[in-house]
Chain A
């Protein structure tokens, strides 16, 4: 298996603090990787680095064989990386249908979108996606009339629509009910069957439900990396992250 994402010696400093310290990290194609770590471990920062929101102090990021270090966010998207924000992030006044439409894979330049018409297959695909995230009955509602959970699912649907090579999901279950979390986990598991996914997650139930390989970050460095059971029984991880040896 080749590595889809390859990070080498990455270091980030934000206002004097070293958030990520000389990190080596890679994701294989078609992998579902869970990123764990206590608050301030650098999980979200790592995602920001990959998507180009921050520029690294040193180190390199390679994606699908290309060096994307220091690229602009929209170029990195074009390379095939889509990102889900921690807080639901969509276009509030647009309808649910339009939210997905704007996210469809396709042309992004001003003058090529000027005369773009929605084709039949694209229309079918929007409905498939809306059905997939169970929002088809709210297609014409403005997105800000959705509940918190529905917003998270809409954003997942938008990511699917953009058909990326790599999905970065930053705590997609934050603020959800147990039922909602379960449903989200199901969605992610299905997405992961065909996509490479990097999932940041705190909830151990979710991690157990879908996790295969886990990477634990601590103070900007990799603490442990390996299959679920191995990481879970790692003494250092227990001490640093889970504390007091508590699991459930």
Chain B
């Protein structure tokens, strides 16, 4: 029907049609993978991947793998926070569960070949806590591939459950942040409480981890795949819908989108990604504790995303590398100052670079073409941050003049 309206309009003058085609030719749709991103990505991947050949520092090597896992974790937060507007302060739950499955499996396998002091062929921390054999429900974890599948599937299903409970009931915004935070606290306490099965405070240590260059390349490959998947997701129609939900969920709902289903979907994808990061992390570092599932780690992930630039895909990785990198190197060089410096960095980003490192650089480059000054770009991102704060209530800003349901 509307076609007719528009056809009437278009047929009125030939000049309007000509103008339309001129606008259309000028319009450049964003590309899936711009050339600069491809070249830059290849260079960075090559630099990280070839470190075992030009660098001999085992500590740096271990940090590289760690940071990649942290970056992947931050990317999973960015998908829900930066692209869909769900702030989760409990993303470490999914990271932690993934990590614990893998760590437990590796530990059980390690214990088979390395009996404990008392001759037990099961994890030593279980023996200290009075168990005499491997609990039956843990027996399937001997099979490491099965444990990896569990590490990925269980968190995703948990996220599905969580999503159905909260998003379907129109709970989001601050309430969602608080609930996820509580979720993270519960898991952390449960891990400490059931120490016979989880290692409790000490965590799970002393198992044969995969700290080899080959495994670094594997982590790198997984990161690249997830980056490309995220790009495909955010670049597609679903991604546009997710961003429109972030911008204005009420409008999206009145445009026929079932907002809750989209939130649940992206939450599950994000949990899957966080779980993969956790699984890789456990296999790489060889030590896992309750801290890796707790609220502090969750919030750290949010900070990396904010510093790197939420709403950009490479930002979370840069944020993780910059913040964690600063932490590791400054803690050696300036032992008594590094916490202040890292804290100052975070405050600087929040106060001055509202869109994070990558977001601010992107804005600068984009607006430079139109001749905007640095101050204007900063003001602009300040204004947008302010608008977002106004939206910072359940269900977005109430429509003017309308009583609240």
Q: Is B332 an interface residue (CB 8 A)?
A: no
- Given contacts A82-B254, A139-B23, is CB(A160)–CB(B248) below 8 Å? no
- Given contacts A91-B244, A93-B243, is CB(A116)–CB(B236) below 8 Å? yes
CA distance A108 to B236 in the complex (A): 14
Main DSSP-derived SS at the B contact region: helix
- Please, how many residues of chain A have a CB less than 8 angstroms from a CB on the other chain? 62
Q: Which one of B23, B240, B257 contacts A136 once the chains associate, using CB atoms below 8 Å?
A: B23
Q: Is B19 an interface residue (CB 8 A)?
A: yes
B1-18, CB < 8 A from A: 1-10, 16
Most buried by A among B29, B247, B250: B247
Question: Cβ of A51 and Cβ of B5 under 8 Å apart?
Answer: no
Give a binary string over B259-297; 1 marks a CB under 8 Å from any A CB, 0 the rest: 101100100000000000000000000000000000000
Question: Cβ of B399 and Cβ of A113 under 8 Å apart?
Answer: no
Q: Is B375 an interface residue (CB 8 A)?
A: no
Question: Cβ of B20 and Cβ of A131 under 8 Å apart?
Answer: yes
Q: Is B387 an interface residue (CB 8 A)?
A: yes
B376-405, CB < 8 A from A: 384, 387, 399-403, 405
Question: Cβ of A92 and Cβ of B247 under 8 Å apart?
Answer: yes
Question: Cβ of B244 and Cβ of A102 under 8 Å apart?
Answer: yes
CA distance A191 to B405 in the complex (A): 31
Q: Which one of B19, B399, B403 contacts A15 once the chains associate, using CB atoms below 8 Å?
A: B403
Question: Cβ of A97 and Cβ of B400 under 8 Å apart?
Answer: no
Give a binary string over B19-36; 1 marks a CB under 8 Å from any A CB, 0 the rest: 110011001110000000
- Given contacts A86-B399, A113-B238, A131-B20, is CB(A191)–CB(B5) below 8 Å? yes
Q: Is B368 an interface residue (CB 8 A)?
A: no
Q: Which one of B3, B384, B405 contacts A53 once the chains associate, using CB atoms below 8 Å?
A: B405
CA distance A98 to B262 in the complex (A): 18
Question: Cβ of A90 and Cβ of B251 under 8 Å apart?
Answer: yes
Q: Is A89 an interface residue (CB 8 A)?
A: yes
- Given contacts A85-B251, A92-B248, A113-B237, is CB(A74)–CB(B258) below 8 Å? yes
B46: shortest Cβ distance to chain A, in Å? 32
CA distance A37 to B23 in the complex (A): 42
- A3 cross-chain contacts in B, Cβ below 8 A: none
- A115 cross-chain contacts in B, Cβ below 8 A: 236
CA distance A139 to B257 in the complex (A): 23
- B19 cross-chain contacts in A, Cβ below 8 A: 131, 136
Give a binary string over A77-95; 1 marks a CB under 8 Å from any B CB, 0 the rest: 1100011011101111110
A43: shortest Cβ distance to chain B, in Å? 10
CA distance A83 to B367 in the complex (A): 34
- Given contacts A82-B255, A91-B244, is CB(A132)–CB(B9) below 8 Å? yes
Q: Which one of A85, A97, A162, A190 contacts B5 once the chains associate, using CB atoms below 8 Å?
A: A190
Q: Is B40 an interface residue (CB 8 A)?
A: no
- B384 cross-chain contacts in A, Cβ below 8 A: 92-93, 144
Q: Is B130 an interface residue (CB 8 A)?
A: no
Question: Cβ of B1 and Cβ of A109 under 8 Å apart?
Answer: no
Q: Is B189 an interface residue (CB 8 A)?
A: no
Give a binary string over A40-59; 1 marks a CB under 8 Å from any B CB, 0 the rest: 00001100100101100000
Question: Cβ of A136 and Cβ of B24 under 8 Å apart?
Answer: yes
- B400 cross-chain contacts in A, Cβ below 8 A: 86-87
- Please, how many residues of chain B have a CB less than 8 angstroms from a CB on the other chain? 50
- A101 cross-chain contacts in B, Cβ below 8 A: 237, 240
B194-249, CB < 8 A from A: 236-238, 240-241, 243-244, 246-248
CA distance A86 to B240 in the complex (A): 24
Question: Cβ of B251 and Cβ of A131 under 8 Å apart?
Answer: no
B179: shortest Cβ distance to chain A, in Å? 22
Question: Cβ of A108 and Cβ of B4 under 8 Å apart?
Answer: no
- B244 cross-chain contacts in A, Cβ below 8 A: 91, 94, 98-99, 102
Give a binary string over A180-200; 1 marks a CB under 8 Å from any B CB, 0 the rest: 000000000011011100000
Question: Cβ of A109 and Cβ of B387 under 8 Å apart?
Answer: no
Question: Cβ of B255 and Cβ of A110 under 8 Å apart?
Answer: no
- Given contacts A94-B244, A114-B236, A195-B2, is CB(A140)–CB(B251) below 8 Å? no
Q: Is A14 an interface residue (CB 8 A)?
A: yes
Question: Cβ of B1 and Cβ of A194 under 8 Å apart?
Answer: yes
- Given contacts A77-B255, A108-B258, A131-B20, is CB(A92)–CB(B237) below 8 Å? no
In the complex, besides A109-B261, A132-B9, 19 extra interface pairs with C-beta distance below 8 angstroms are A73-B254, A86-B400, A91-B251, A92-B384, A93-B384, A94-B247, A98-B244, A102-B244, A102-B255, A110-B262, A113-B241, A116-B236, A128-B3, A136-B24, A139-B27, A162-B255, A163-B2, A190-B9, A193-B8
Provide a sorted-by-A list of 29 A–B residue pairs whose CB atoms are within 8 angstroms: A45-B402, A72-B258, A74-B256, A74-B258, A82-B254, A85-B250, A89-B399, A94-B244, A102-B241, A102-B244, A110-B261, A110-B262, A113-B237, A116-B237, A116-B238, A118-B237, A125-B6, A128-B9, A131-B9, A131-B10, A131-B19, A136-B19, A139-B24, A162-B255, A191-B2, A193-B8, A194-B1, A194-B4, A195-B5
